[in-house]
């Protein structure tokens, strides 16, 4: 499923997660979300998003497992070492040149996961400034939406494997061993602050000299990326730098940032941004405007009635919500028509079929304009309208209805006819100029089309690159999980082997025959003394019914006492004495002691038979 295709079940599940756990994934790429969700659904054996939502409502602990699956906390120290070398050699000296002495240096590591990159930049600044100056001037903010990952970051405790990419001299200078792990030294750790932050909805940290956000944007769709990048532009100082991941580019945001190093994905803030782009960075309404929302609503209603165009509003459910005075006069509408289904009104299909156009506008999200639509009211005087149908959406982009405006262009239509006649009179003299103009327009359109195709291709390649990087990080995360599981299984196997060797050594030291059978009389265990007595090895009898094994022991006589032992819950042992012949043909008098083998829940899964030759006094 591409990001332009929406699965209703998936969208409903995302709304459910937002409302119940305050995790908003609606701005994430649908392809990546679908993969991660279906992986978790496969684990619990569920096929549809609707069934999985029901499962979450019944099993609240599943939320944590789901978020750990969606939020791929894949990071590391000095990831892409060449890029970090460029940061150390070029970017940090440039920042120190522009920041006054003793002024604070502010860094934000957005999407920091367990904090490795935040600690990486702390070490590099400490190397450039000196430890004492870094403790005094440096402030690094590490943020993420995953509280579990932030807890790990605050602990600052890392395994030896996690520190493999850290140069030996830095490891010795900034980490101290604690048991089998390494703790980041507290002298510099005080410069780092970790907290929860949602890039889509929370206000950005401001006055930054450096903003690190590596391989986080690749999980968001294009619209969300634009909004986040606009916030990043606002957050940085005029001389600030943005450090992205190797799969991330700013193709659609080149009016906010310019490349300092394309190879290493490091960008400089562009100081002068036009008014239109500044408006894109507005993320919330001013409190004063919210306080005056009622006054604004009244003014808007008065303006609607004063408009020279006839206007109506149809809500998301298809009911007529608003009508201005001119619309009532043109189309014989009454105030009582508000709240009626729009499809029941004549206006929904005359002078033009509007119902299908409204559906198209709400589904696609783009306005539709119809020109010179003829309307003949009851008085018979023909009129012409330009009709524009535009979608209405709330602050979150959710469709809430459609706005239809009817602009009376009757005078323009009459004038147009007169002008058409005049145009025909001068058309002959303008043919050559028109032909040249058309050729230029054609060339311009072809050039524009080529530019748009190249831009589209470039964005598609970038999107593909981001998707590949996303999948790569998912695979690396899965590989680490599998390695951890494999290590646990190896340790469990070693423990099981030790237990088996211990049990075999005990059974080998017992000088009586030991046989363990299950409820169906199948042999589960046959020790060496039993082999010595009856001449059959353990591998020959294991899994077979003891009743079908040909030995010198009359096992048929054991059936009745065994069944009695099974049927009596209060009896755990039973003993019989019988005559038998061992593997050498010598007659024996055998004492057979039968004992139930119990488990933790009290159910007897088997019986232990102890076979000992009875000696006569």
Q: What is the DSSP string of 533-561?
A: HHS--HHHHTTSBGGG---SS-GGGGHHH
CA 439, 441, 442, 444 dihedral sign is: positive
> Cα separation of 413 and 423, whole Å?
15
Query: With 90 as the cut, is the pLDDT of residue 249 above it?
Result: no
Q: Return the structure tokens found at 567.
A: 């049927």
> Cα separation of 96 and 456, whole Å?
39
**Percentage of the chain surpassing pLDDT 70?**
89
> Cα separation of 584 and 292, whole Å?
107
User: What's the pLDDT band for 104 if we cut at 50, 70, 90?
Assistant: very high
Assign 458 to helix, strand or coil.
Answer: helix
Query: With 50 as the cut, is the pLDDT of residue 1 above it?
Result: yes
User: What's the pLDDT band for 281 if we cut at 50, 70, 90?
Assistant: very low
β-pair partners for 375: 383
The CA distances from residue 82 to 78, 85, 116, 435, in Å, are: 9, 5, 17, 57
Query: With 70 as the cut, is the pLDDT of residue 296 above it?
Result: no
Higher-confidence residue: 365 or 522?
522
**Once rounded to an integer, what is the mean pLDDT over residues 140-148?**
92
Higher-confidence residue: 146 or 123?
123
Query: With 70 as the cut, is the pLDDT of residue 81 above it?
Result: yes
> Cα separation of 213 and 208, whole Å?
13
pLDDT in tens, 441-474: 777 888 887 888 888 788 888 888 888 888 888 8
pLDDT in tens, 340-397: 898 888 888 888 888 888 888 888 878 888 888 888 776 667 788 888 888 887 665 6
The CA distances from residue 79 to 18, 117, 517, in Å, are: 32, 8, 58
β-pair partners for 589: 579
> Cα separation of 94 and 88, whole Å?
10
What's the alpha-carbon Rg for the chain, to the nearest Å? 39
pLDDT of residue 457: 82
Exposure string over 325-355, b if 16+ CB within 10 A, otherwise e: ebbbebbebeeebeeeebeebebbeebeebe
| Residue from 139, 147, 17 nearest 73 by CA | 147
> Cα separation of 351 and 121, whole Å?
66
Query: With 60 as the cut, is the pLDDT of residue 602 above it?
Result: no
Asked which of 91-105, 194-208, 276-290, 589-603 is least confident by mean pLDDT, the reply is: 276-290
- The answer to whether the CB of 270 falls within 8 A of the CB of 258 is yes
Higher-confidence residue: 600 or 556?
556
pLDDT of residue 301: 66
- The answer to whether the CB of 518 falls within 8 A of the CB of 547 is no
Half-sphere exposure (CA, 13 Å, Cβ side) for 78? Answer: 16
> Cα separation of 513 and 528, whole Å?
7
> Cα separation of 415 and 387, whole Å?
19
Strand ranges in 135-184 using DSSP code E only, listed in sequence order: 138-144, 157-159, 175-178, 181-184
pLDDT of residue 8: 85
Assign 390 to helix, strand or coil.
Answer: strand
- Return the C-alpha torsion angle 252, 238, 137, 177, nearest 10: 20
pLDDT of residue 377: 74
pLDDT of residue 279: 45
Query: With 80 as the cut, is the pLDDT of residue 563 above it?
Result: yes
Q: Return the structure tokens found at 85.
A: 């070398």
pLDDT of residue 293: 47
Query: With 80 as the cut, is the pLDDT of residue 610 above it?
Result: yes
Higher-confidence residue: 245 or 292?
245
Query: With 70 as the cut, is the pLDDT of residue 264 above it?
Result: yes
Average pLDDT, the chain: 83
Higher-confidence residue: 300 or 195?
195
| Residue from 541, 521, 533, 540 nearest 583 by CA | 533
**Once rounded to an integer, what is the mean pLDDT over residues 167-174?**
94
β-pair partners for 369: 388
Strand ranges in 216-319 using DSSP code E only, listed in sequence order: 236-244, 257-261, 266-269, 310-315
β-pair partners for 249: none
pLDDT of residue 452: 80
pLDDT of residue 285: 37
Q: Could you give the angle at which helices 62-70 and 49-58 cross, rounded to 10 degrees?
A: 130
Residue 237, Cβ neighbours under 10 Å: how many? 18
pLDDT of residue 379: 66
Query: With 60 as the cut, is the pLDDT of residue 297 above it?
Result: no
β-pair partners for 139: 106
User: What's the pLDDT band for 289 if we cut at 50, 70, 90?
Assistant: very low
């Amino acid at each position: 499923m591409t990001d332009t295709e929406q699965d209703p079940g998936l969208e409903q599940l995302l709304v459910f997660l937002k409302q119940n756990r305050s995790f908003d994934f609606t701005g994430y790429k649908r392809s990546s979300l679908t993969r991660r969700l279906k992986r978790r659904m496969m684990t619990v054996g569920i096929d549809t998003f609707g069934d999985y939502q029901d499962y979450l409502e019944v099993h609240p602990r599943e939320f944590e497992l789901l978020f750990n699956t969606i939020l791929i906390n894949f990071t590391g120290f000095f990831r892409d070492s060449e890029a970090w070398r460029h940061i150390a050699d070029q970017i940090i000296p440039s920042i120190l040149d522009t920041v006054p002495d003793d002024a604070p240096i502010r860094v934000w590591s957005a999407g920091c996961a367990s904090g490795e990159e935040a600690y990486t930049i702390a070490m590099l600044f400490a190397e450039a400034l000196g430890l004492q100056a870094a403790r005094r001037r440096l402030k690094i903010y590490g943020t993420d939406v995953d509280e579990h990952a932030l807890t790990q970051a605050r602990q600052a405790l890392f395994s030896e494997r996690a520190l493999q990419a850290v140069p030996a001299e830095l490891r010795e200078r900034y980490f101290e061993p604690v048991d089998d792990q390494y703790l980041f030294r507290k002298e510099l750790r005080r410069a780092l602050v970790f907290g929860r932050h949602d890039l889509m909805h929370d206000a950005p940290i401001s006055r930054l000299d450096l903003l690190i956000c590596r391989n986080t944007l690749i999980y968001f769709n294009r619209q969300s990326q634009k909004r986040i990048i606009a916030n990043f532009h606002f957050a940085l100082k005029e001389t600030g730098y943005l450090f992205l991941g190797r799969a991330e580019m700013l193709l659609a945001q080149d009016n906010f940032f310019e490349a300092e190093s394309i190879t290493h994905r490091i960008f400089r803030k562009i100081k002068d941004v036009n008014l239109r782009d500044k408006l894109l960075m507005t993320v919330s309404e001013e409190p004063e405007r919210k306080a005056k929302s009622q006054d604004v609503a009244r003014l808007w209603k008065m303006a609607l009635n004063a408009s020279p165009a006839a206007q109506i509003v149809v809500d998301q459910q298809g009911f007529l919500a608003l009508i201005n005075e001119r619309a009532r006069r043109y189309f014989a509408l009454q105030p009582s028509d508000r709240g009626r289904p729009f499809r029941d009104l004549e206006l929904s299909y005359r002078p033009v079929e509007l119902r299908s156009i409204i559906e198209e506008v709400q589904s696609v999200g783009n306005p539709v304009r119809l020109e010179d639509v003829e309307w003949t009211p009851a008085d018979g005087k023909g009129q012409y309208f330009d009709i524009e149908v535009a979608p209405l959406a709330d602050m979150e982009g959710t469709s809430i209805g459609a706005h239809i405006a009817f602009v009376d262009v009757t005078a323009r239509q009459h004038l147009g006819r007169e002008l058409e006649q005049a145009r025909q009179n001068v058309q002959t003299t303008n043919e050559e100029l028109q032909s040249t103009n058309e050729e230029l327009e054609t060339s311009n359109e072809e050039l524009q089309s080529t530019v748009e195709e190249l831009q589209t291709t470039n964005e598609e390649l970038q999107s593909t690159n981001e998707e590949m990087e996303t999948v790569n990080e998912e695979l690396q995360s899965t590989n680490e999980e599998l390695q951890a599981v494999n290590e646990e299984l190896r340790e469990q196997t070693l423990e099981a082997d030790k237990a088996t060797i211990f049990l075999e050594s005990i059974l080998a030291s017992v000088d009586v025959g030991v046989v363990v059978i299950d409820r169906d009389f199948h042999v589960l265990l046959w020790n060496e003394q039993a082999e010595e007595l009856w001449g059959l090895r353990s591998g020959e009898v294991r899994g077979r019914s003891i009743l079908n094994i040909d030995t010198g022991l009359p096992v048929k006589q054991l059936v009745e006492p065994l069944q009695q032992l099974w049927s009596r819950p209060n009896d755990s042992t039973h003993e019989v004495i019988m005559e038998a012949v061992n593997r050498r043909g010598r007659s024996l008098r055998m004492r057979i002691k039968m004992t139930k083998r119990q488990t933790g829940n009290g159910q007897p899964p088997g019986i232990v038979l102890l076979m000992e030759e009875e000696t006569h006094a």
